[in-house]
Structure formats: C-alpha cells, structure tokens
Chains A and B, each alone.
Chain A
Amino acid sequence: MQDASGTTLMDLITADPTAPPPSTSGTSPSTLGKPAQKPVQTERRTKKGTLMQIQSDTIAVAKALNPVRANIRTQKQKRKPVSYAQLARSIHELSAASDQKSSQKQLVNHVFPKLAVYNSVDPSVAPSLLMLDQQCEDRNVLRYVYYYLARILSDTGSQGLSPGGGIPTPNWDALADIDAVGGVTRADVVPRIVNQLTTEASNADIEFHARRIAALKALTAAPSSNSEILAKLYEIVFGILDKVADANQKRRKGMFGKGGDKESIIRSNLQYAALTALRRLPLDPGNPVFLHRAVQGVSFADPVAVRHSLAIISELATKDPYSVAMALGKLVLPGGALQDILHLHDVLARVSLARLCHTISRARALDERPDIKSQFSSVLYQLLLDPSERVCFEAILCVLGKFDNTERTEERAGGWYRLTREILKLPEVPSVTLKESIDDPKDALPPKSAKDKASHKTRRPQPLVKLVMRRLESSFRSFSRPVLHAAARVVQEMGKSRAAAFSLGVDIDEGAPLHAYSETVESVDQDINETSEGSRKGFLLSNGMGGKDTIANLLASLMEVVRTTVACECVYVRGMVIKALIWMQSPYEPFDELESIIASELSDPAWPSTLLNDILLTLHARFKATPDMAVTLLEIARIFATKVPGKIDADVLQLLWKTCLVGAGPDGKHTALEAVTIVLDLPPPQPGTMSGLTSVDRVSASDPKSALALQRLVQAAVWFLGENANYAASEYAWESATPPGTALMMLDADKMVAAASSRNPTLAGALTRLQRCAFSGSWEVRIVAAQALTTMAIRSGEPFRLQIYEFLHALAQGGMQSQFSEIHLSNGEDQGASGTGLGSLIAPMLKVLDEMYRAQDDLIREMRNHDNAKKEWTDDELKKLYETHEKLLDLVSLFCYVPRAKYLPLGPISAKLIDIYRTRHNISASAGLNDIAVATGISDLVYESNATPEKDPDELDQDLVNAWAANLGDDGLWGNNAPAMNRVNEFLAGAGTDAPDVEEENFTSRASVSYDDMWAKTLLETTEVEEYDARSSGTSSPESTGSVETSISSHFGGSYPSLFSSRPTTYGASQSSERSGAAGSRFSNPGGSSSTFEGVGSPIREEPPSYEASVMQRFESFENPMAARGAPSFGSQDDEEPISSDNQQFGKALYDFTAGGDDELNLTAGEELEIDYEVDGWFYHFHCHVIIVLMYPSYVALCSVVLSGLSLHSQHSVPSNLCWSPGSNFLA
C-alpha cells in the first residue's frame, strides 16, 4: 500500500506524517488486503524468529509490570513504523502505567488506532485489555477495549483470519503453542473475556448502562457455534427484556422530542441493546417467550430496536405465521404499532414490515382468518406509497409473490393476478366495512372522518397496477444507478410473475379497461363515485387517461421507459434492463426490438463476461417459465454466439440450445434447429493461421481469442446438429417405416439426395449443412462434422444413411476434392497432400457402416435361403444372428447413443428374428451392462449419452417435455455431469455469493469438456493427454504447418488403432463367418502398429498422404457380401499373421498415382500389383504396408487402396516403392 511518495499504510499511521522511513517501504506489506500473499510473506519472514522473540519479550515485560514508556517515544523519535509486536508491547506497558492520563492518551491516539490495522489480535494482549477494562475510566480507551475484546472473541483462531481483514497476522494459538514458556492461547483468555463481559452486561447500575450496552454488543461478537456463550447471551438478553420490555411504553415521544425522562431513555437504550443482541442470536421459533419479546419490540421507542424486532418477527412469521399473527394481534389495526411503523424513519424497518405483512397475508395457516390476512395486505398495499424506493419496491415484490427464491409458480402467478386486480384503498376508520361500499357504492357515505378525508384528499383508490407502473416509471427517470438497477430488477420480477400467470393460464385480459375490475374488487371509494358520471360503469379510476387505461397500455408505457434506460452508461443497469426486457417479452409478440437492443448492446466491448453469462442464464430461466418461447430465445442466444463468442460460457449456451430444442415442440423443432445452426452460416472462424495461405487480413482483423471461441462454438453447433438433427427431424432408423430397400440403395447420388430431401427436409437440410462443414470448415470443425455425420448415419434410416455413407467415403478418399476446391480455397487452408485430412478419422466410421450393411446383406441372403428352402431358422442360426446384432450394437454404441432395446443394426427385417431369439432365451432387451460404451466408461465421458434418452420418440410426448421443462435438471435426464447444469440450476435457485472472475476468462483453461475433448476421450484411451496436447499445439501455433499435420497424424494415427486394439474380442474374433471375420479384422489394427506410431520420431511422415491421388482401385470381392459368397477370403486367414505366400492376391490401381516420396510408388490406372499379405487393413508387399479404405455399397464393386504408413517401412528395412491392391483373383 504505497501512496505517491512511496509510503506505506504503516508509515502513514505512524506519528510522523512527513518523513516516511525508507527502511520499510520496500519490505513492509504493500496492502492490507489485496495482494494478501505479499504481506504474509513479509510478515512471516520474521515470524518464527522475531515474533516469537518479541512475544516472549513482551510477556516477560508485562509480567514484570515494568512500565518502559520511553520505548514508544524512542520509536516515534526514530520515526519507525510501528510493528505489531511493538504495539502489543505498548499495550502491556501502558495498561500497567502509573501515569494514567498520559498512557490513556497514547493508547487512544497511537496504539489502538494502529493496532486496528492488523488482521487479528494476539490473545496475549487480552489480559492487558481486561486490566484496562477494569481499571480505566476513560471512555475512549474503553471503547477501544470493547472493540478489541470483540475481535478476540470473533476470531475463529484459524490462521489469524478474522472477518475484520487487515494486515495478516500469524496464527497466535499456534505460535503460543510453540512458545512453551509463556504462550497465551485464545482458549486461555476467551473464558476470562466472556466472564468479564457477562458481568458487565448484567450490571444493572444505571450509571453503568452505556458500558453495559457495549459489553453486550462485544459479547455478541462470539461465533454462534459457541453454545456456552449463546446460553449466556440468551440469559442476559431476556434478563434485560424482563426488566425493560414490560414497562409502559411512552411511545416515541421520548425519542422524537429530545425530552423524555431519564428512566425511559435508559430503558429505551437497554431495549435497543437487548434487541440488537437478540437479532444476532439464532431464532427460536417454537419459543413463545422469544416471540413475545420480539413482538414487544415493535412498540419500543428506539427505531433500531423496532427494526430488529420487525426483522425477527418477519423471519419467525415464515416459520409460524399463525403464532406471529396471533401475537401481533391488534398491533396491525389502524392506530396500532404496526401502522405507526409506516411513518417510522427507518427504511429497513419498513422493509421488514412489508415482508412480515406479505408472509402473514399469504399464509395458508391463516386461511380461516381472512380478516387478519386482509389487514396485513392492507398494510402491505399502503407500503406501495412509501417515499423510499427500497420500501416501495419491496412491497411491489411482495405483491408479486417474490419473497425469496423459493416461491412456486402458483405464488408468482397469484402475485401477477393480485397486482392487476387489487385496488389500494387508503386506511379508513375501522368501523367501515367493505361490504357497505360494495353494496351501495354510490350512496354510502364516505366512511372516512373529515380529517382523514382532508389528509388524503388527493389520494384516491387506485388499482395497484397503475400505482406500481407509475412509481416504476418515475424511478426510471432517476439519476441514481442503484435506483435504476433496482427498478429494472422489479420489472424483471414483474415479468417473472406475469410469465408464471400465463403459463398457468390465469385469465388476465390485459387489454380490458382497468375500471372493469373495480366491480369485482371490494374497495370502492365514495370520492370516486362523486367524480363519476353517475353510472358505475362510467367512473374511472384513472386520473386523466380516460378510459384508455388498460394493463397493456400501462405496460407499454412502462416498457418504453425501461427501453430508454438501456442508454444508461452503467453496464450493470443495462444488463438488468435487458433481463427485464427478456422477462417482459411475450411469446406472442414480435421480438425484433428486443433483438436489436441486445445486438447493439453486445457490440459494446465493456460488457463483462460474467454479466453476459448472467443474461444467458436468464434466457434459460425464461425458457423454463415459458417453453413456448424456445425459438425466440434461441434467436436471442444466437446473438450472443455471434457477437460475443469469447465471453460467454459455451456450455451454458449449448445447454440452452438443447433445452430449447426439446421445448420447441414438434412444430418448432425445425425452426429451433435452424436457429442453432445458423451459427454455421457465419464466415469461417479464424483460429489462427494453419498455413501460409490463410488470409492474413482475416486473422489480423479478428480478435484471435473470440475467433477461437467462435470456432469452438461452431464446433459445438456442428456437434449439436449431428446429435440432435434426428430428434428435430423425427427421423430414426429404429422408427423408420421404409426398410432399406435395395431399390432405394441403387439410386444414384442425385436421386438419393432428392429422395432424402423430399422425405424429410429438416434432416436433409441438416445433412447438407454438415456436409458443407465437413468440407469447408476448419480442421476442428471438419472433425466434428464427420463425427456428426456418422452419428446421423447411424441413427437415420435410409436413404439418409446411404447418402451419408457415400459422402463419407468420398470425403475419406478426397475424391470429391476438386468439386469443392473453391470452398476449400475460401477456407484458406492448404490441404497439401492431406486431402481432407479426414481419411484416417473416417475410416473407422465407414467401417461401422460397412459392417452394418454387410450384415444386413448377409441377413437378407440368409432369409432368402431360408425362404427358398422353406426351412425354419435353427436356434444356432438365430444365435449367430443375435450375436451379430449385439456386436453391431456394441460397435455402434461407441460412436453415438442409440436405444439398445430398439436399435436394429441389421435393419427392420431382423426385428422378428431377434425377437424370437430373445423370447426363446428370455433375454431382456435392455442390456445396459453389456453396452460396451457403458462398460468402458465412455458414456461417462460423453454427457449427451445421458441426455439422449429424451430423444426416444416413444418416451418423448409433449407432457414429458413440459414436465421436463418445468423441472429442468430434476429428472435426471441430464445427469449431473452436464457441465452447465450446475450453473443453470444455481442461477435458477438464485444462489451464489462467489465473486466474479476478474480476469477475462481464459476459456481454454475451463474445466468443462469441449467437444474435441470428448472426441479425444471417446477415441483415445491411453494416449489422450499427449494426443490432446499435440493437437492443441497445432491449433495454437499459427505458423507451424508442420505441427498441425503432426498433430493430425499423431492424433488419429495413434487413436485409430488404440480404439479397437484394446478390445479385440469385439470384432473379428467372434465373427462367425469367415468373411465377416476378415472384415472385422480390418477394424483392429494390431496394437503393435499403434505403439510403433507413437514411437516414431518423425510423425510428420505418418501423415495420411495424398488422398487426392493415391486412390487405387481394386476389384471388390471380399467386401461384397453377395459376391463373396463361397469365395475364399484372404482376410479370413488370420488376423495378425501375414498371409502365406502361396495365397497370392492382386490389386488393381483405380487411378494414376504419382509417388510423393522415395518410399511411395508410381502407379498407373489398371496396373495390377501383387499383395503379400494383409493385416487388419494394412496391405503388405515385401513388408511394405498399405492402408485400405473401402467404399460401400459393394454393388459398385469399388474399392480403393490408399498408400499409407510408409514411414514405417524403415523399421522393416525394406525400401519398397511398391503398393499393392488386392488381387484380381478375388473378383466377383
């Protein structure tokens, strides 16, 4: 803490203001608090040595009662800052000094104020303080003594941290323990302090009463966990109240006038002391004495005592409204104490009164006493006229049913109903009954006394809503930021109540003139009738607006003012205003204005991210209240995604997408999906250059951090699309009406697309978007897009699956690269030799689909065979079929969630057979534990697997959606591991006192799981950390193309084998047919290959090279289930071992291929090459191996062989330039 001249706080509070000692400015604590560590360091540097030394010195000195006054002066003369030890020693010395006056002066002027700077007080000072307490007469000294005694009592003793803050001090108790000789711990002194204070607090001597009050207050500083002290406090407090509470109250006269007799003043002071202590004690709801004393407090003369007593009562009322109402009895009636509080000059007292009135007027326990309830609501309504905004707003909130954050929707809806229907009638003499005025509102005499009438001449009964709206409007014209903030908050709460009323269908016609309600409301005032035009219908409650006063009008006028408040320069006020606007937005009105306000607001860089996230959470809350608004809210959320992607919590945004999609209902699903994926239409984000070709302008133009965030958001949107498109489109493979008919599958691509889009435009649209992303997005987006497409392929029926399959295949081999080359260029990435770079990533996905198609073909064939031979399926055959089914299910579950009970990887035609087998063997369809994803814990890593059950259309009827929407997070659908759920729930519960983060959050360090992470975690098992690091280093170093490619290849080169090699039994090993065994074996790269990849020092060379050109054709045989029937399959030979040389195979190159390196091979189209052996998709020729990528459908008889993995050749020391495709002898 250095001021301009370099002095420190400690220097400044030394006696000499002009000459700061240079000796300490460098080393002494720089602040009291902020960089808390620093002071600790400096203070503790000497802790062990110096402090112990000084402390023992101090105690020794004190024990000797040796007054060495000169010390202080010496210090002052030397102009040294005063250390804690010196101050403590001074207290010891001065407390024992003979020259009382001088020592007291020193204590008050020098020692005590400086000691206040420290965090805590050493218990060893306590004896001296107690000595001063007993012997000193000086009030100023004593006040400080009570201050320090209270601090010692309140200190919890842990690390010297007391609520007081200040320069950190050591843990005195720990220090005292070390000091075996003279250490004084809190345990030693606290009982003495408590005794002393208890004695003083019980001292009834009138002259002593000021000290008595101070002692009692100091005693309440003790932590409430100390039951012994609590018991003492109760005893003292009730002891005092026994004496002073029951005496006849000389109401307020003594307080307001300075007069008042001495006795009543003292009594009032003691009442204050007792109630202020009682307020700090835990409530005792069942205790009638407690309640009795608290209620008595309402009539006390001291305003602070009244405030505390009302606060206690209003808290008690929430627990036991009936008793409180009974205890208050007549106090609430006109002329009673509660009515007086309306005019009490203490804002918080009136606030407590409002809360008390609200609690009692709404208490179920008092349903049989409507009179009491109406009395309290009458007081509450009067508080709406309170001059203080704090009180008025509290009353509004109470009327609206907002009390704490636990209100039910019904209460809030009732609040809106009350606000719009009720009428404030000013207090009248008690004799007037409401009935009279209703029975004969025109003729009844004004019930007020003349005096009342005079005083309230200008006040007419007003509909609450009008009163409130006007008050709020005037508050919005205030210049005070807190008032604006609070007013906006009240409007927000009004919106919440209104939304609750709408959602419960409470019938409020906002367009109806206000006076219409007066007929139904009990209070009608004569004044009004006099001014009316003679007919009841004609009279107006409005003051000049004529018959135009409707709730809608009032609201419109209020909202106009609210909107103008967006111009406030305080961003927090603006934030609250936007929240209010969101809440007041009706689902049936256009929201263009709100949208444009938010859009223009978000362009302001001043918005802190915490506030933006708060607003985002508000959208969640708004959705929860009105699921109808899903699409509107998504549109608003989109503004956040595009304008401030770097500042918002992506998890919360994604959760919002999801909740809104589910909440949008069948009609809105398409729109909701569109609203989310509109993010994808943004210009491609610039996550830093990946290559030299990337436009430099773009990167420099955009803030890299938000660009990265936007990219993540796009990734998330892509993922979301893949994950939810099926839900939005209501297209599920397991619900599909059309079996994957051969005719459909034989369609060419264009016709397939046409068929798909005519069948389901939503899904076809999503597919198109994803396809575009898979080509034109950044690397990260492409990965997610490929994953999303796979998910869709797995979940969709035909023709979508086939369409995706074909697309993925093209993507894998880069064959369509040229068609998309323009898009590619616009993305600015140099694809170089890597093609789309997705080949090795897509391979396992394609293989899943391969497997499924192949198995389907097998099944069709088998069924045909059975039909032709007219024989039943044997149990063994069924078993085989079922095993294939289960295996495929396991495989599919690795990629995305599917409902195991319903999903039929073998196609709908398999349902019957599977069912037969299940029934026969009593197998439950839901084999959760057998789910490989569950068993391997992958589902834990991917939270959507927990979230997706609601996608199952059978479970997802509208009721469920509504129920779910109304109980967000309570139904377990989301599970607890959804990263944003806690944040949303906490927000909805209105909890949280943690400080916002100051630094602009570095979102990359956020602990939540990004989609990349999930991807990595899904695919990678043992090497995920390294892989992730490698990848992220690629994205974060714009210049290093090499590192990107490195990461690409190591990421997927490493992951591809590891995913499958870890569970070899999943596939080929248990495949029953030879052919499927071969195909299965392709899935599992040998573990050795994986480890080799990692072991190689030059991973750049592992990069999947030149997909564009390295395509070879081989005549598909073993990939074609129909064609391969009966034919020997080389793949069946062995999973791991090279195929023996006598079993020669040949492959034929599909296209010309120019070798990209020494270890590659030039090939011409049609060239046949011999393949030595194949291991799991790697084709070897003289130990040179080649990865194969297969394209289905096999009818096309197309198979490509891709040269790959050539860097490994060096290991085998076979410098082969040969690349072989499977042989022609396998031709169909």
Chain B
Amino acid sequence: MILAVLFSNSEGNILVERFHGVPSEERLHWRSFLVKLGADNLKGAKNEELFVASHKSVYIVYTVLGDVCIYVVGKDDYDELALSEVIFVITSAVKDVCGKPPTERLFLDKYGRICLCLDEIVWKGMLENTEKDRIKRLIRLKPPTDV
C-alpha cells in the first residue's frame, strides 16, 4: 500500500499530497516528519538522488527534483525498492510535464497536469501506470495503448 505521496518546496511547504489509508489525525504527523526528514537530509542533494528512511513497518523514499522535494511512503509490497520505482515514475512524469527539473514556479504552473499524472501513477494506494508515454496518453483521455 502506498500510504502517501507528498510534494513540498525546499522550505518544507507542502505543494501536493495524496494519502491513502492514513487516518486524518496521523496525516499531520506524517507531514511534519517527512518535511523534517527532507530538511535534515535533502540540502545539497543531487536531483533524483534517492534517500531512504523507515519507521516500524513503513518505508519512506524521498528525493529532490529541482526545487521540489518528493516523498513517498509505503508499506507491505511497497518497500523501499518498490517505492524507488514509484518515485522514479513520478519524477519522470514531473520532468516530462515540466520539461526539466521544475522550479517551484514551474511546478505550480503545471500543477493541474501534475495532479492528473499523479492520478494515473498512484491510484487508491497502488502503483498504476509506469510508462511515460502511457501516462501522457491517459492524462489526455486517450486509451493506454493507442489504437
């Protein structure tokens, strides 16, 4: 289960978040934990360099892409390696939508499409589509495989 996908800017403000199966009272904790994790570790990190953390049975993989920090939290099947796959798909999609590792401005400009992409990548706590082209088609309401 992918418990959360979260985007924040470099100052730790949250830009996008998707939770699944996390009680609402826990979300605030997760937000602060993730943002602190990023603040502690992501300074000076290279784009798409993967970081890992774990807590109890939950895994966290996070990275930085341009001005944006991306966090993915999962458990069970979605261990640190599966989450690496997830985060890889997400970063490729974001890069694809923005054309490059986004600045915060660019990210916000493309906010809507990024949300649609995220919808195609993670759906109800599970990884859905992974191929870039396929995601691109789906956010334009084209079938996954072109006729």
Where the two chains meet, the residues of A that have a C-beta atom closer than 8 Å to any C-beta of B are 1-3, 9, 12-13, 17, 30-34, 36, 108, 112-114, 116-117, 139-140, 142-144, 146-147, 150, 159, 161, 163-166, 209-211, 213-214, 217, 220-221, 254-255, 260, 262, 265-266, 268-269, 272, 276, 279-280, 302, 304, 311, 346-348, 351-352, 388-390, 393, 404-405, 480-486, 489, 570, 572-573, 575-576, 610-611, 614, 986-987, 990-998
Contacts and interface: CB of A to CB of B under 8 A. Distances in A.
B29 A997 contact: yes
Contacts of B22: 993
Contact of B13 (A32, A480, A995, A997): A32
Contacts of A254: 145
B132 interface: no
Given A12-B108, A147-B119, A280-B124, A389 B18 contact: no
Interface in B96-144: 104-105, 108-113, 115-116, 119, 123-124, 126-130, 138-144
Contact of B109 (A17, A279, A486): A17
A390 B87 CA distance: 14
Contact of A165 (B18, B35, B123): B18
B127 A144 contact: no
Contacts of B53: 572
B51 A164 contact: no
21 contacts: A9-B108, A32-B15, A116-B115, A117-B111, A143-B140, A165-B18, A210-B143, A220-B124, A276-B123, A346-B130, A351-B82, A352-B77, A482-B50, A486-B80, A489-B80, A572-B52, A572-B54, A573-B52, A993-B75, A994-B56, A998-B36
Contacts of B59: 485
B31 interface: yes
B79 A994 contact: no
A116 B108 CA distance: 11
Could you say which of B11, B13, B22 has the most chain A C-beta atoms within 10 Å of its C-beta?
Answer: B13
Interface in B48-96: 50-59, 61, 75-77, 79-85
A991 B56 contact: yes
Interface in B15-40: 15-22, 24, 26-33, 35-36
B127 A482 contact: no
Contacts of A17: 105, 109
Describe A's contact surface by its main secondary structure. Answer: helix
Given A1-B13, A116-B112, A993 B128 contact: no
Given A17-B109, A113-B111, A573-B52, A992 B77 contact: no
A354 to B, nearest CB: 11
Contacts of B82: 347-348, 351, 390
Contacts of A572: 52-54
B144 A302 contact: yes
Given A573-B52, A995-B33, A164 B123 contact: no
A73 B32 CA distance: 38
Given A116-B111, A269-B147, A276-B128, 8 more contacts: A3-B105, A32-B16, A33-B17, A481-B52, A570-B41, A573-B52, A611-B55, A990-B57
A144 to B, nearest CB: 7
B3 A570 contact: no
Nearest to B24: A161
B56 A268 contact: no
A497 B13 CA distance: 43
Contact of A140 (B58, B140, B146): B140
Could you say which of B17, B30, B147 has the most chain A C-beta atoms within 10 Å of its C-beta?
Answer: B147
B143 A1 contact: no
B113 A113 contact: yes
A262 B147 contact: yes
Nearest to A154: B124
B54 A998 contact: no
Contacts of A214: 138, 141
Contact of B116 (A9, A144, A575, A576): A144
Nearest to A159: B24
A1 B9 contact: yes
Contact of B141 (A139, A388, A486): A139
Nearest to A983: B56
Nearest to A270: B143
Nearest to A17: B105
Contacts of A117: 111
A996 B55 contact: yes
Contacts of B12: 34
Contacts of B141: 139-140, 142-143, 146, 210-211, 214
A897 to B, nearest CB: 33
A455 to B, nearest CB: 27
A404 B109 CA distance: 42
B95 to A, nearest CB: 18
A351 B110 CA distance: 34
Nearest to B76: A404
